[in-house]
């Protein structure tokens, strides 16, 4: 019975119909500015209304989750005890990588915030394939497919998820309604909080990867709170333009969109 109720809740969080969706094509300019195409979704938790740019992509297209999967990886690591707390250090393996913030010993909290792939690859190896598959199945995460090395299935285009499903995940996380102990969900939410201002709080997880054809793909998923009221968002973009900078452009686009929609002033 509990599992049946969980499925209902999970579905309702991700569902959107023509009756509660406003399509806003004016948001296209933020993708054009980044030489990208993509989609954006915002859910107003107070009235159940969605604001969407590019509904077909948002609702129907699935993509590799890239580092947005760290939300699940961290939760499973905490639940299974492979991550003891957000201060748990995994020592640097000595391999110098392009991101200098990864080339050091890192705590879970810091690794999450700098999106350190090596840290969470090691966490995945410690958790193991069978346990990860159990939890991916339990929360009905995207296509639920784990193929290839256990430390890279969220990067190799076997596991995929739609932007709508990402929206459902972050909403359940916000309300502690994922099947993980509440304190562990709070730990992950703490790591996602990047801006805590008098007028708003912005929490998110980014992701950056490549599709099967090599096209760069970027995500930002999370929520913004104003006057203690949450709005959940998903931004997904890709670009075949070799001069596009999705690493920085995804946040530029997100902030531009949120500003246009009336956020950051504490008046929502």
Task: Provide the pLDDT confidence category of residue 253 given band limits of 50, 70 and 90.
Answer: very high
Residue 87 annotated as catalytic: no
Task: Give the DSSP letter of residue 68.
Answer: G
List the CATH number of the domain containing 190.
Answer: 3.40.710.10
For the beta carbon of residue 167, count every other beta carbon within 10 angstroms: 25
* pLDDT at residue 1 in the model: 37
Q: Could you tell me if residue 265 is inside a domain?
A: no
Given a cut of 90, whether residue 186 has pLDDT beyond it is yes
Q: What is the pLDDT of residues 56-104, one digit of tens each?
A: 999 999 999 999 999 999 999 999 999 999 999 999 999 999 999 999 9
Domain assignment of residue 60, given as a range: 2-260
Give the residue ranges of DSSP H helices in 34-147. Answer: 55-60, 70-80, 108-113, 117-127, 129-138
Q: Could you tell me if residue 240 is inside a domain?
A: yes
CA dihedral 83, 87, 93, 96 (to 10 degrees): 130
Measured between alpha carbons, how far is 78 from 74 in angstroms, rounded to an integer?
6
How many domains, the chain? 1
* Cβ 52 vs Cβ 40: under 8 Å: yes
Nearest CA to 167 among 46, 36, 15, 25? 15
Q: Could you tell me if residue 132 is inside a domain?
A: yes
Task: List the structure tokens of 245.
Answer: 């900078």
Catalytic residue among 26, 67, 138, 152: 67
* pLDDT at residue 266 in the model: 74
pTM given for the model: 0.93
């Amino acid at each position: 019975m509990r599992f049946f109720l969980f499925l209902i809740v999970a579905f309702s969080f991700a569902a959107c119909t023509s009756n509660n969706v406003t399509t806003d094509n004016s948001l296209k300019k933020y993708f054009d500015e980044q030489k990208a195409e993509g989609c954006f979704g915002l859910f107003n938790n107070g009235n159940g209304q969605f604001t969407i740019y590019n509904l077909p992509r948002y609702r129907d297209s699935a993509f590799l989750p890239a580092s947005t999967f760290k939300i699940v990886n961290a939760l499973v690591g905490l639940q299974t005890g492979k991550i003891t707390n957000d201060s748990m250090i995994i020592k640097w393996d000595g391999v110098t990588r392009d991101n200098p913030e990864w080339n050091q010993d890192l705590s879970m909290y810091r690794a999450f915030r700098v999106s350190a792939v090596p840290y969470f690859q090691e966490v995945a190896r410690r958790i193991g394939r069978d346990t990860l598959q159990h939890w991916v199945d339990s929360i009905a995460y995207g296509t639920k497919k784990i193929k290839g090395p256990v430390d890279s299935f969220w990067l190799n285009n076997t596991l995929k998820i739609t932007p709508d499903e990402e929206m459902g995940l972050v909403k359940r996380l916000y309300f502690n309604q994922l099947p993980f102990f509440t304190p562990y969900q709070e730990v992950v939410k703490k790591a996602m909080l990047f801006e805590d201002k008098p007028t708003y709080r912005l929490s998110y997880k980014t992701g950056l990867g490549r599709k099967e054809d090599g096209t760069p793909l970027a995500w930002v998923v999370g929520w913004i709170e104003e006057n203690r009221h949450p709005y959940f968002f998903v931004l997904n973009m890709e670009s075949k333009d070799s001069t596009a900078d999705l690493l920085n452009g995804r946040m530029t686009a997100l902030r531009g969109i949120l500003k246009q929609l009336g956020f950051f002033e504490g008046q929502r």
